């Protein structure tokens, strides 16, 4: 009698477990898409984000990903065609990463999202539009905080992109709104065009170094991406701009990931921002999960068409993509 009761209890528990398992598999299926360059960090980050979301039974949906992989060379028209193909498959959103960092491609994608009314979610920065969500946080307000607190009333702004000039405009407006003591007449802008021609960049830096020669404090705000920051740091060191009178403030979130070997004992002051705090336990767990995932799959290409190198903080992209997928 006792054994029969025990058997009945075990059978009942098994039945309950089966019901729960079946219910978890009945999550509503949601079709989404990702469009990435072949072998890019974004491609791997998207796959990881979908995997992480689907393996959690507490999430209400089950994501059905569709990937569109671009092999170089490709242009804005190719990207537009691929987006339209994905939209025709009735996906509920399209996710992109490195592609959104190119102004021309980003504009085409944003316009296509508006025209087709298919949400475009990117890990880049930029203004939001009706059907475009950019997740990379802007540092304009934080940058203004530092400039006001440190009382930088005069500085030079070095940027590697036309978009960077636009960000300077936003920064000036932010400083004016705070009634800071900075002098617009003492702010100079220096454009080095994506660092495509090293000699031109060196000439620009030599000219800048000479122009600042009479200043006791030589203050530079640097607007550049991860791989560009590394190259600039090497060039600064090469021509001797890693001297004690220089102060560098990086407007992006990547200075901690650059090689600072030539600056440690130089007396140069460096400041910047981080996207994530590596001391937090949840960040450490995420990094461990991401590293475990990426080590099992194919190696991310060391050089994509966007210039993103394998040594860059790929978990930045992975974290933003994971947030993008989860929040969607």
Angstrom distance (rounded) from CA 46 to CA 297: 13
Q: Which two tokens stand for residue 62?
A: 């089950």
Are 284 and 11 in contact by the 8 Å Cβ rule? The answer is no
Are 131 and 163 within one domain? Answer: no
The pTM of the whole model exceeds 0.85: no
What is the SS3 assignment for 150? coil
Angstrom distance (rounded) from CA 20 to CA 196: 58
Angstrom distance (rounded) from CA 139 to CA 250: 10
The confidence score (pLDDT) of residue 34 equals: 96
The confidence score (pLDDT) of residue 79 equals: 93
Are 155 and 188 within one domain? Answer: yes
The C-alpha torsion from 125 through 129 and 133 to 134, rounded to 10°, is 0
Angstrom distance (rounded) from CA 199 to CA 259: 22
Residue where a domain terminates, one of 236, 256, 271:
271
The C-alpha torsion from 57 through 298 and 259 to 240, rounded to 10°, is -140
Are 55 and 149 within one domain? Answer: no
The confidence score (pLDDT) of residue 297 equals: 59
The confidence score (pLDDT) of residue 13 equals: 37
Structurally, the chain folds into a number of domains equal to: 2
The confidence score (pLDDT) of residue 313 equals: 60
Regions in the chain scoring below 70 on pLDDT? 1-25, 127, 194, 254, 256, 297-313
CATH code for the domain in which residue 128 is found:
3.40.50.2300
Per residue in 270-312, pLDDT (tens digit) is 998 888 888 889 888 988 888 888 777 554 443 333 333 333 4
Please report whether residue 208 resides in a domain: yes
**Domain span at residue 115?**
29-136+317-327
Angstrom distance (rounded) from CA 39 to CA 300: 5
């Amino acid at each position: 009698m006792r054994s029969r009761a025990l058997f009945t209890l075990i059978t009942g528990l098994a039945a309950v477990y089966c019901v729960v398992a079946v219910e978890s598999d009945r999550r509503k299926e949601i079709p989404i898409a990702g469009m990435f360059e072949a072998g890019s960090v974004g491609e791997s980050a998207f796959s990881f984000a979908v995997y992480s979301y689907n393996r959690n039974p507490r999430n209400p949906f089950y994501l059905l990903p569709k990937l569109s992989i671009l092999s170089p060379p490709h242009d804005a028209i190719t990207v537009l065609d691929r987006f339209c193909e994905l939209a025709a498959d009735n996906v509920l959103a399209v996710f992109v990463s490195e592609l959104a960092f190119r102004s021309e491609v980003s504009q085409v994608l944003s316009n296509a999202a508006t025209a087709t009314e298919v949400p475009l979610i990117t890990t880049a920065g930029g203004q939001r539009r009706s059907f475009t969500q950019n997740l990379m946080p802007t540092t304009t307000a934080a940058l203004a905080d530092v400039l006001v607190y440190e009382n930088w009333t005069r500085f030079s702004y070095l940027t590697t992109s036309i978009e960077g000039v636009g960000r300077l405009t936003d920064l000036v407006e932010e400083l004016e709104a705070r009634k800071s003591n900075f002098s617009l007449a003492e702010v100079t802008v220096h454009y080095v065009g994506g660092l495509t021609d090293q000699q031109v960049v060196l000439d620009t830096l030599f000219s800048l170094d000479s122009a600042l020669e009479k200043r006791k404090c030589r203050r530079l705000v640097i607007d550049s991406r991860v791989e560009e920051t590394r190259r600039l740091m090497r060039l600064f060191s090469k021509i001797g701009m890693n001297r004690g009178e220089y102060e560098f403030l990086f407007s992006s979130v990547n200075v901690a990931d650059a090689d600072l070997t030539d600056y440690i004992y130089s007396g140069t002051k460096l400041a910047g921002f981080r996207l994530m705090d590596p001391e937090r336990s949840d960040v450490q767990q995420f990094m461990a999960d991401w590293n475990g995932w990426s080590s099992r799959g194919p190696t991310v290409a060391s050089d994509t068409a966007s210039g993103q190198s394998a040594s860059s903080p790929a978990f930045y992209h992975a974290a933003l993509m994971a947030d993008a997928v989860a929040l969607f």
